[in-house]
Amino acid sequence: MILGIGTDLANIERIQGTLDRFGDRFRNRVFTEIEQAKAERRADTAGTYAKRWAAKEACSKALGTGLRMGIAWKDMAVSNLHTGQPVMAVTGWARDRLDEMTPEGHEAIIHVTLTDDHPWAQAFVVIEARPAGQPD
């Protein structure tokens, strides 16, 4: 069953301006070390950050909270499988909220997809609940 859906659209040029203005202060407040390492290795650094920004916004919407109720930016983290597929991990208040909304006897799976077409970056997040122990 679907527990939540979220989407967000981020302007890459706006993220670049924020990076130019606030630098590490912005990076360290919003992005995990893994996210920063990924973005800094990419030719399109701002685009990579923008996609992850959009994913965090989309995840907070799928959790039904937006960025309130104590959910912090770093409570939601995007990484990639060896295939390149993005995955979302949640900790802290985001994990608490996910656990709260997941029915008993189910496990939550967060699906995330990212795309960009300059100057836009977009993310969709779907949170699914599957009966515990059911194969993927």
Q: Residues at the annotated binding site?
A: 8, 57
Q: Residues at the annotated binding site for Mg(2+)?
A: 8, 57
Instruction: Report whether 39 contacts 79 (CB < 8 A).
Output: no
Cα 33 to Cα 12: distance, rounded to the nearest angstrom: 20
User: How far is CA 68 from each of CA 11, 73, 94, 100, 104, rounded to the nearest angstrom?
Assistant: 22, 10, 10, 15, 25
